Amino acid sequence: MRRAKNSEMSNTIVVGAQWGDEGKGKIIDFITEKADLVVRAAGGSNAGHTVINNGQKYVLHLIPSGILWEDKLCVIGNGVVLDPFGLLEEMAKLRGQGVKITPENLRISDCAHLVMPYHKSLDRAREAKLGDKKIGTTGRGIGPAYADKVNRSGLRTILLTQPEILAHELRDRILMHNETLLAAGVEEVPVEETIAKVLEAAAILAPHITNTAVVCHEAIKAGKSLLFEGAQGTYLDIDHGTYPFVTSSSTTSGGACTGSGVAPRMIDKVVAVCKAYTTRVGSGPFITENEDIGDMLHNMGREFGATTGRARRCGWLDAVLVRYAVMINGADELAITNLDGLDGLDEIKICTAYKLRGQVIHYPPSTVADTEACEPIYESHKGWKQDLSQMKNFADLPDLAKAYLKRVEELTGARISLLGIGPSRDQTLVV
Ligand code: GDP
Ligand code: IMO
Ligand code: MG
């Protein structure tokens, strides 16, 4: 637990500029020092945010990373889908690591939606049915929970404070979804046992439930700073991502507003987090995928999923994607992480455009078929061949690394403000 020194940050949204796992957890932890509230506004326990401090590793799924700071208020906003069992497990694990979590420092929106056991069963059944066309979900029930929300049949977190109504509504939903599970030949969810377990979890979580839009606005009125912890990444966004190989929420900066009830005009800054290369976990098109880079990173013990442990697919930095992400998120700044992952390479490539059926294009196509038909156009950079992980100042970086970063700024149109050269908090350089 650390205590913040000051509070001089404006309202900032942090988003992922690629397919998730960009290192948002680490960057958010670094800038939380200057925030008062840390807000999660989208996604669920599909997220896995790693923070490493003083040799301790924390992996956050639903709880904002700000919880690792002693005096920060953490908010789970209305845009989140919340698995009460996953949350209790996460709380227990963090408490075991010495983290304080109380209804005073973790507030949960009364309008978030519940992820229930039938959502997970439906998620897995659907993936199994899709076979080799599967999305490669995290199996956390995210898609079916958001589908229930949009279908206006979801259960909101306010019900955790109303046990009788919760039991009644939950029975209705279990019976409804069991019909689908039965038709799919999948084991049904036990009715009474599930209700009893959910009511037990509800009694523990009820004191955390409140109107978090009001919590955020009162904080803003009191001159406090909000930090929005993005989950997933731009290309997993339900609208802007590589549909259908996406998650089911709005992962881009606009989602932070609808998912929290804080209006766009209250936002002062957007920071997009981006690896110095690209990774993706799950299925879907990936133009700059490169097995050699994957082998190199996996052999270094890197790029295994924080939530599912799956090996991430790896490739060169795709500046077309990052430029477009900067545009639709309105990003003022880029935080580049994992630059040290490229330390050993003689040659480093950046994709600057695509060739689609003989034509050069500068924006990601909107269909999977067109994306798969794209060929990357690369430019080549000489590697710095030096261990960056112990560098203390940006100025000390080798010229070749500085040149690579300068080119990333030119290609993406955003200023690099933070740089990651290792997984620990103290391996973050201010540029
Ligand atoms: P998130 O989901 O965006 O928070 O990212 P994850 O935590 O899922 O994955 C990022 C991985 O990269 C984690 O293992 C981090 O510890 C690690 N990481 C983050 N920044 C850096 C960096 O600059 N260098 C190195 N070597 N690892 C980093
Ligand atoms: P963080 O916040 C990387 C991917 C899954 C799958 C697709 C849909 O740690 O960056 P879902 O379970 O959401 O229905 O899966 O989205 N995915 C992520 N990939 N990082 C994440 O979160 C992800 N959350 C979902 O692998 O391809
Ligand atoms: Mg992650």
Supply the pLDDT for residue 123. 97
DSSP state of 410: H
Q: Is 249 in the pocket of ligand 2 (CB under 6 A)?
A: no
Query: Above 60 in pLDDT, residue 335?
Result: yes
Residue whose CA is at the smallest distance from ligand 1 atom 13: 50
When the pLDDT of each residue in the chain is averaged and rounded to a whole number, the result is 95
Q: Which residues pair with 313 in a beta bridge?
A: 280
pLDDT per residue over 113-133, tens digit each?
Answer: 999 999 999 999 999 999 999
Peptide linkage before 244 cis (omega within 30 of 0): yes
Q: What does CATH list as the number for 113-206?
A: 1.10.300.10
Distance (Å) from CA 194 to ligand 1 centroid: 36
Could you tell me what percent of the chain has a pLDDT over 90?
A: 95
8 pLDDT tier (thresholds 50, 70, 90): low
CA pair distance 236, 146, nearest whole angstrom: 14
Active-site annotation holds for 426: no
pLDDT per residue over 146-180, tens digit each?
Answer: 999 999 999 999 999 999 999 999 999 999 999 99
Domain range summary for the chain, segments of one domain joined by +: 12-110+211-430, 113-206
Supply the pLDDT for residue 5. 41
Q: Is 274 in the pocket of ligand 2 (CB under 6 A)?
A: no
| Closest listed residue to residue 232, CA positions, set 42, 30, 425 | 42
Query: Above 80 in pLDDT, residue 414?
Result: yes
Q: What does CATH list as the number for 12-110+211-430?
A: 3.40.440.10
Give just the sign of the alpha carbon dihedral 351, 13, 16, 53: positive
Output the CA–CA distances (angstroms, integers) from residue 208 to 105, 203, 258, 315, 395, in the order listed: 9, 10, 21, 41, 45
The DSSP string of 287-306 is: TTB-HHHHHHHHHTT--B-T
Residue whose CA is at the smallest distance from ligand 1 atom 18: 423
Could you tell me what percent of the chain has a pLDDT over 70?
A: 98
pLDDT per residue over 210-223, tens digit each?
Answer: 999 999 999 999 99
Answer yes or no: are the C-beta atoms of 246 and 137 closer than 8 Å. Answer: no
Output the CA–CA distances (angstroms, integers) from residue 37 to 61, 184, 215, 360, in the order listed: 17, 43, 10, 44
Q: Which residues pair with 73 in a beta bridge?
A: 37
Both tokens of 283, joined, read 């299925």
Supply the pLDDT for residue 336. 98
